[in-house]
């Protein structure tokens, strides 16, 4: 099978971790008889440096011609990078928001799974971890505060700013349907997270989610306020199956979920539209403080590539092969620095490796 993949290496550690994912994809292609073709696309800070824009029209057209897009990371150090002296709509993250909107990527899927080999890297107590947890956060990606009307202005001699949180019922309904469909393939439970005790947008969210739930009698629905959900993620994470939530809440909760898995470097991500097209990226940021040091964890990016094979190309056995190879590498005690055991825990059987070595090990286990 021929597959056309747009590749956005991006900024910071992005080029390093994407290179390892491409290496794994090439190994999968050789093993299973597929031909992965790559089209390099500029976005983010590197695009600002090259074109003056975080996302050009040409880059959007390139992405639209691809079957799927693999993304590394966007952005830099907000304190030192000249990119953050630019207006907000010219900064690296504007490119990410822009491509999500242009490609109609309304559904963001972030699995948070605790590998049994990484129990020692989880910051939670053993009695909380139990036999592990496996959740998926379904985040609405093209509405809410991040896309609402905003302005900074002077009123009566004082500077004020506002951001508008807006959702309509169609935006809520389509993400809710995605969540319930996926829950049917998992453990048939949806936890819808909102702030309905305060926000009108959340009260509409809850109403529409309940309407959708009426068509899924085999799926259990519960509602949870976002502040309680943040607490429950560290108190009892195994209670969750599919967490359904709006854009900003999902952004925050998915990062929290990543850390209870041991490292954000283990958390993959898929952003889907209403077709088979998806943009696949690790959930972590550009980590400019470690860029170029060869220590970044590429596993989240490699897992994102596996999600791409599964959701866009319907290559389940190929995705399984990647995931199994990662499990083998972890079983054998190989770790990047972010998932090394905490000080004081037994690390006698653990071997620390860098970014490239981790990619090579996964390829070998394929």
Closest by CA to 214, choosing from 242, 176, 241, is 176
Q: For the whole model, what pTM was predicted?
A: 0.84
Closest by CA to 339, choosing from 358, 362, 324, is 358
Catalytic residue at 360? Answer: no
Mean pLDDT in residue range 56-77: 97
1-106+266-366 and 123-260 share one fold: yes
Set 11, 194, 251, 338: catalytic member: 251
Q: How many CB atoms lie within 10 A of CB 279?
A: 27
Which CATH class name applies to 1-106+266-366? alpha beta
pLDDT, position 6: 98
Catalytic residue at 227? Answer: yes
Task: Check whether 204 has a pLDDT greater than 80.
Answer: yes
Mean pLDDT in residue range 55-60: 98
pLDDT tens digits for range 168-202:
999 999 999 999 999 998 999 999 999 999 999 99
Q: What is residue 175's DSSP assignment?
A: H
Mean pLDDT in residue range 307-324: 95
Mean per-residue pLDDT over the chain, rounded = 94
Task: Check whether 247 has a pLDDT greater than 80.
Answer: yes
Closest by CA to 333, choosing from 320, 348, 311, is 348
| Helix segments in 187-246, DSSP class H | 200-213, 226-235
Set 255, 328, 357, 360: catalytic member: 255
Give the C-alpha separation, 132 to 113, whole Å.
Answer: 8
Total number of residues shown for the chain = 366
The full set of domain ranges for the chain reads 1-106+266-366, 123-260
Long-range contacts of 21-26 (CB under 8 A, 24+ apart): 21/70, 21/298, 21/301, 21/302, 21/304, 21/305, 21/359, 22/70, 23/359, 23/360, 23/363, 24/302, 24/305, 24/322, 24/325, 24/359, 24/362, 24/363, 24/366, 25/305
Mean pLDDT in residue range 208-213: 98
Closest by CA to 136, choosing from 249, 257, 229, 227, is 257
The CATH homologous superfamily of the domain defined by 123-260: Isopropylmalate Dehydrogenase (3.40.718.10)
pLDDT, position 239: 96
Task: Check whether 283 has a pLDDT greater than 90.
Answer: no
Set 23, 113, 115, 146: catalytic member: 146
Q: Are 123 and 257 in contact (CB under 8 A)?
A: no
Catalytic residue at 251? Answer: yes
Residue 255 makes CB contacts below 8 A (sequence gap 6+) with 264, 283
pLDDT tens digits for range 22-50:
999 999 999 999 999 999 999 999 999 99
- Cα distances (Å, whole numbers) of residue 361 to 329, 330, 354: 7, 10, 11
pLDDT, position 216: 98
Residue 26 makes CB contacts below 8 A (sequence gap 6+) with 36
Q: What is residue 257's DSSP assignment?
A: H
Q: Are strands 189-194 and 150-155 parallel, antiparallel or unpaired?
A: unpaired
Task: Check whether 95 has a pLDDT greater than 70.
Answer: yes
pLDDT, position 344: 66
Catalytic residue at 280? Answer: no
Q: Are 39 and 70 in contact (CB under 8 A)?
A: no
Higher pLDDT, 178 or 118: 178
Q: Categorize the per-residue pLDDT at 124 as very low, low, confident or very high, splitting at 50, 70 and 90.
A: confident
Set 194, 195, 241, 338: catalytic member: 195
Catalytic residue at 195? Answer: yes
Residue 80 makes CB contacts below 8 A (sequence gap 6+) with none
Set 49, 170, 215, 227: catalytic member: 227
For residue 310, the number of C-alpha atoms closer than 13 Å in the C-beta half-sphere is: 18
Specify the range with the lowest mean pLDDT, choosing from 24-28, 84-88, 256-260, 272-276: 256-260
């Amino acid at each position: 099978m021929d597959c056309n993949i747009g590749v956005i290496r991006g900024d910071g550690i992005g080029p390093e971790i994407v290179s390892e994912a491409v290496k794994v994809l090439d190994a999968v292609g050789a093993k299973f008889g597929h031909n992965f073709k790559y089209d390099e696309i500029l976005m983010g800070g590197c695009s600002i440096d090259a074109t003056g824009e975080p996302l050009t029209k040409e880059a959007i057209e390139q992405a639209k011609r691809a079957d799927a897009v693999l993304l590394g990371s966007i952005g830099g150090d907000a304190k030192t990078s000249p990119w953050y002296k630019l207006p907000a709509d010219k900064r690296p993250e504007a490119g990410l928001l822009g491509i999500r909107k242009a490609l109609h990527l309304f559904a963001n899927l972030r699995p948070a799974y605790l590998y049994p080999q990484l129990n020692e890297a989880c910051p939670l107590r053993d009695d909380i971890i139990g036999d592990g947890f496996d959740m998926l956060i379904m985040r609405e990606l093209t509405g809410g505060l991040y896309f609402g009307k905003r302005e900074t202005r002077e009123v009566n001699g004082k500077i004020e700013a506002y951001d508008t949180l807006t959702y309509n019922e169609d935006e809520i309904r389509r993400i809710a349907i995605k969540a319930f469909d996926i829950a049917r393939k998992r453990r048939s439970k949806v936890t819808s997270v909102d702030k309905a005790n305060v926000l009108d947008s959340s009260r509409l969210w809850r109403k529409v989610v309940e309407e959708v739930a009426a068509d899924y009698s085999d799926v259990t629905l519960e509602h949870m306020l976002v502040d309680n959900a943040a607490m429950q993620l560290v108190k009892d994470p195994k209670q969750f199956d599919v967490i359904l939530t709006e854009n900003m809440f999902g952004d925050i909760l998915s990062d929290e979920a990543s850390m209870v898995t041991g490292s954000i470097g283990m958390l993959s991500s898929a952003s889907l539209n209403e077709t088979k097209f998806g943009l696949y990226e690790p959930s972590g940021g550009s980590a400019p403080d470690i860029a170029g040091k060869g220590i970044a964890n590429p596993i989240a990016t490699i897992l994102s590539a596996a999600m791409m094979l599964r959701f866009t190309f319907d290559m389940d056995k190929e995705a399984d092969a990647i995931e199994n190879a990662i499990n083998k590498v972890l079983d054998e005690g190989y770790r990047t620095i972010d998932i090394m055991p905490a000080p004081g825990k037994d690390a006698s059987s653990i071997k620390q490796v860098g970014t490239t070595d981790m990619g090579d090990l996964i390829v070998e286990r394929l």
